Amino acid sequence: MLTPDQWTTIHNLTTWLDQQNGRSQQEITLRILKLTEEAGEVAQAWIGTVGQNPRKGTTHTTADVADELVDVIVTATVALTSITDQPETVLAHKLKAIADRPRTPTT
């Protein structure tokens, strides 16, 4: 769960983006598509961490992967804030639903 200060940062970032680019349907679409770009950067960093590409070798660290994952989180919360006036509530309800799901053991 994000803290109130973190939500303030997200709201400020969203406001800044709105001032720069507006909040048209196209802009919101681009903010949502930005998630795909950021997820790709996570994948690239992980591939670089495990050295999967023999031509490049190990090019990233787990700290790089963590940094990219945070970019995904920030991008997702900005997109969420762009489509609802109550992103904190939406996230809280979703996290509660996840927490309340019954857990079944794997075999």
Rounded Cα distance, 11 and 14, in Å: 5
Contact at 8 Å (CB) between 84 and 103? no
Contact at 8 Å (CB) between 88 and 3? no
Q: Is the pLDDT of residue 107 over 80?
A: no
* pTM, to two decimals: 0.91
Q: Is the pLDDT of residue 76 over 70?
A: yes
For residue range 9-22, list pLDDT tens digits in order: 999 999 999 999 99
Domain ranges of the chain: 4-94
Alpha-carbon distances, residue 10 vs 24, 76, 81 (angstroms)? 19, 10, 8
For residue range 10-68, list pLDDT tens digits in order: 999 999 999 999 999 999 999 999 999 999 999 999 999 999 999 999 999 999 999 99
Q: What is the largest CA-CA distance in the chain?
A: 52
